[in-house]
Amino acid sequence: MAEDAVDVLIIGAGASGAAIAWSLADTRMHIVCLEQGDWMNPSEYPSAHMDWESRAAGEFSISPNRRGGVTDYPINETNSPIAVANFNAVGGATILYAGHFPRFHPSDFRVRTLDGVADDWPIDYETLAPYYDENDRMMGVSGLAGDPAYPPKPAIMPPLPLGRAGTKLAEGFNAMGWHWWPSDSAIATEPYDGRDKCINLGACTAGCAQGAKASTDITYWPHAIRAGVELRTRCRVREITVRGDGMAGGAIYYDADGVEQEIRAEVVILACNGVGTPRLLLNSTSNLFPDGLANSSGLVGRNLMFHPYSAIRGTFDTDLDGARGPGNCIWSQEFYETDASRGFVRGFTYEIARGGGPVNTAVNRMLSGKVSWGEDHHRSFRDVVNRITGMVGICEDLPEAHNTVTLDPELKDSHGIPAPRIDYTLSGNSRRMLDYSVARATEVLEAAGAIDVESTAPIPFGGWHLMGTARMGTDPQASVVNEWGRSHDVRNLFIVDGSIFVTSAGVNPTRTIQALALYVADSMKQRLANLFD
Amino acid sequence: MPDVIASDSPYSITERDVLRRVAGILIPASEEYGVPGADDEAIFARILGLASERAESIRTVMEALQTRAKERHDANFLELNGAQQTALLRDGETSRFLGQMIRCAATAYYEDGRVLQSIDLKSTPPFPGGHEVEQGGWSLLDPVKARAPFYREARKKA
């Protein structure tokens, strides 16, 4: 039996769901958020335990298929060279993200106009700038003002330390005459909004036990809940319901006991990421919407974009940081803007990955034969442990309709809900960009003094960023939501996650996802009297 | 005392002896570096715990090792001398077993506080103590600061 209708139903309590919940809370509407995961307990994060590397690779793995937890859903990704990374909890993937927090650039919103590829966004950098600023204040961003790769933007806290690894690579970039800058990071370098400052635990991507990293369970959500938003955990939504007039009616979900529940709502907001949102829309079929909700364009689930990542590592003959300190450090955007002479359009960002832990170093290098086993093991291992650093290249992925999220005909989650299937092909442009990023990074590492350089491209498990599967635009035939996140087909249905990206840019998306959520919230608040017109 | 007792283990006593012997070959104790081997009692207990999580696949590939020992030497792996055991592990036919054992042995070994101290790392979990990381020389940034902005302006048409 359905409960009384709420004003706003938000599905998903991750990066964007938290942001829009907080922003809408000042309307005093009755807002309920359903999250399929749990609240996290920081004392259970790997860095609080000796076996932190094992835990990070197991129950805190970025792969839902590897974790296989009760709050996870399986994904058929056998037809993709890049596997999906996600996390289901209050805070969503921000629990496990590195906290790299770049903004998009002005050119990222105008790729058709500037470079003749993909499509322009219906909004521009100037539209989002105030929401970037607001989000920065809520999340707490460390960095340094004055980056020549960007329009001026405020720095809220001092940057993370360079350390030995950052120093070494900065010397390499300087030797090449190339840009680098302290990374904008959603990691507090000073006490901030009730959070402690970073103490260099070095296991950021498995949850921050210190609470310095800005996951939304400790940033937006405490404020949103204090302002009256109701957050229900362990609630897995099966489908969005539809009223007789074609408007969204609410949702049917399974509670923590597996009991089917229905909630009615005047407004429904999806914040389930670029895979979870199309999955839910495609699972929400009805007589009015036989091909899935909000899908008259046929674009729900199409144009899936990851960021193909390259990883380039160098071994040095001196001790660096190893696993000490956050992975975030510096970035380079020397190759961000299009230069046709490079053989590809658009560009990429290098982000320095400071170092690795001893277990990963030992296992990977013993398996590859680069570290000996047997009598020579200890000497061999000491030649590399704490001496490896490098970078990843985050390549812009252009939208292609054949890269899709669909419903798997056989695979289902623990509640019997059809699971997503990924079909994705790496484009020629991405392949050339990856190769270029490996070649230039090798030059940097060698200039910095690396005695051995190795690379991987693409990173097969690196589908951290899920974008484009319910794109925004002004044309209902060429987009799923309008320029302020409202479905063209269902006027009380909104989407605020990475699904609505038109293009991916060559940077991590979380800061832009959250700025978009705040922008959509503001757009809604300005139109409350005629929101559905 | 190791916290894995015989009745908990999916491995027979002989299989456990093989696992322990192999762990000691992969990462032997070293007087020079002042570290135990991976066959150390506490470390091996952890190895056994990790190996128990993948017992089915490890037991299967361990059979290949024993089969090879029989074919080459007409003996059980544990009856061979050290050089023969090492040679068998280097045999491509036993590579799957070697891979599984490297994963378990190296993981358990480099989670041990004594070992971590020997490579200049903390013998406690990262939290709550954290680590010291040098700030580094920010004057390195001076040439980049001197650079003119190079992003492309791109406003939406009004």
- pLDDT value, residue A4: 78
Q: Which residues of A513-531 are buried (b: 16+ CB within 10 A; e: fewer)?
A: bbbbbbbbbbbbeeeeeeb
Domain count, chain A: 1
Task: Show the 3-state SS of A184-236.
Answer: CECECCCCECCECCCCCCCCHHHCCCCCCECCCCCCHHHHHHHCCCEEECCCE
A271 belongs to a structural domain: yes
Distance CA(B137)–CA(B143), nearest Å, equals: 13
Q: How confident is the model at residue B2 (pLDDT cuts 50, 70, 90)?
A: very low
Strand-pair partners of A239: A252
Q: How confident is the model at residue B1 (pLDDT cuts 50, 70, 90)?
A: very low
pLDDT value at A522 more than 50: yes
Residue type, A176: M
Please indicate whether, in this complex, the C-beta atoms of B127 and A209 are within 8 angstroms of each other.
Answer: yes
**Average pLDDT score, chain B:** 92
- pLDDT value, residue B3: 45
A49 belongs to a structural domain: no
A51 belongs to a structural domain: no
ipTM, interface predicted TM-score of the complex: 0.93
- pLDDT value, residue A462: 97
Distance CA(A523)–CA(A127), nearest Å, equals: 11
Cβ A282 vs Cβ A126: under 8 Å: no
Q: How confident is the model at residue B156 (pLDDT cuts 50, 70, 90)?
A: confident
Please indicate whether, in this complex, the C-beta atoms of B27 and A164 are within 8 angstroms of each other.
Answer: no
- Give the residue from A472, A475, A497 showing the smallest Cα distance to A280: A497
- pLDDT value, residue B8: 72
* Lowest mean per-residue pLDDT among A28-37, A228-237, B59-68: B59-68
Give contacts of B32 with chain A, Cβ < 8 Å.
378
Kindly state the average pLDDT of the residues A355-379: 96
- B32 → chain A, closest CA residue: A378
A274 belongs to a structural domain: yes
The string of pLDDT tens digits covering residues B93-144 is: 889 999 999 999 999 999 999 999 999 999 999 999 999 999 999 999 999 9
- pLDDT value, residue A220: 98
Q: How confident is the model at residue A251 (pLDDT cuts 50, 70, 90)?
A: very high
Give contacts of A105 with chain B, Cβ < 8 Å.
151-152
The string of pLDDT tens digits covering residues A408-446 is: 999 999 999 999 999 999 999 999 999 999 999 999 999
Return the sign of the alpha-carbon dihedral for residues B72, B77, B80, B82.
positive
Please indicate whether, in this complex, the C-beta atoms of B147 and A105 are within 8 angstroms of each other.
Answer: no
pTM here is: 0.96
Q: What is the DSSP letter of B139?
A: G
- pLDDT value, residue A191: 98
Please indicate whether, in this complex, the C-beta atoms of A54 and B50 are within 8 angstroms of each other.
Answer: yes
What CATH number does the domain containing A160 carry?
Answer: 3.50.50.60
Give contacts of A118 with chain B, Cβ < 8 Å.
none
Label the pairing between strands A388-395 and A309-315: antiparallel
Kindly state the average pLDDT of the residues A255-273: 98
Distance CA(A310)–CA(A439), nearest Å, equals: 10
Residues of chain A above pLDDT 90, percent:
99
Kindly state the average pLDDT of the residues A99-125: 98
Q: How far is A84 from chain B (nearest CA, A)?
A: 24
A44 belongs to a structural domain: no
Please indicate whether, in this complex, the C-beta atoms of B150 and A148 are within 8 angstroms of each other.
Answer: yes
- pLDDT value, residue B158: 63
SS3 state of residue A495: strand
Q: How confident is the model at residue B92 (pLDDT cuts 50, 70, 90)?
A: confident
Interface test with A, best of B3, B40, B156, B157 (most A CBs within 10 A): B156
A15 belongs to a structural domain: yes
Kindly state the average pLDDT of the residues B36-65: 95
A45 belongs to a structural domain: no
Residue of B28, B110, B131 with shortest CB distance to A359? B110
Give contacts of A149 with chain B, Cβ < 8 Å.
149-151
Please indicate whether, in this complex, the C-beta atoms of B152 and A161 are within 8 angstroms of each other.
Answer: no
Which range of residues forms the domain containing residue A216?
6-39+59-530
Kindly state the average pLDDT of the residues A13-18: 98
A518 belongs to a structural domain: yes
Please indicate whether, in this complex, the C-beta atoms of A362 and B106 are within 8 angstroms of each other.
Answer: yes
- Give the residue from B43, B60, B63, B55 showing the smallest Cα distance to B105: B43
Please indicate whether, in this complex, the C-beta atoms of A180 and B144 are within 8 angstroms of each other.
Answer: yes
Task: Show the 3-state SS of A411-427.
Answer: EECCCCCEEEEEECCCC
**Average pLDDT score, chain A:** 97
The string of pLDDT tens digits covering residues A441-461 is: 999 999 999 999 999 999 999
The alpha-carbon radius of gyration of chain B (Å, integer) is 24
- pLDDT value, residue A481: 98
- B33 → chain A, closest CA residue: A378
Give contacts of A203 with chain B, Cβ < 8 Å.
126
Peptide bond into B128 cis (omega under 30): yes
How many CB atoms lie under 10 A from the CB of residue A298?
12
Distance CA(A125)–CA(A481), nearest Å, equals: 19
Please indicate whether, in this complex, the C-beta atoms of B154 and A109 are within 8 angstroms of each other.
Answer: yes
Kindly state the average pLDDT of the residues B71-78: 96
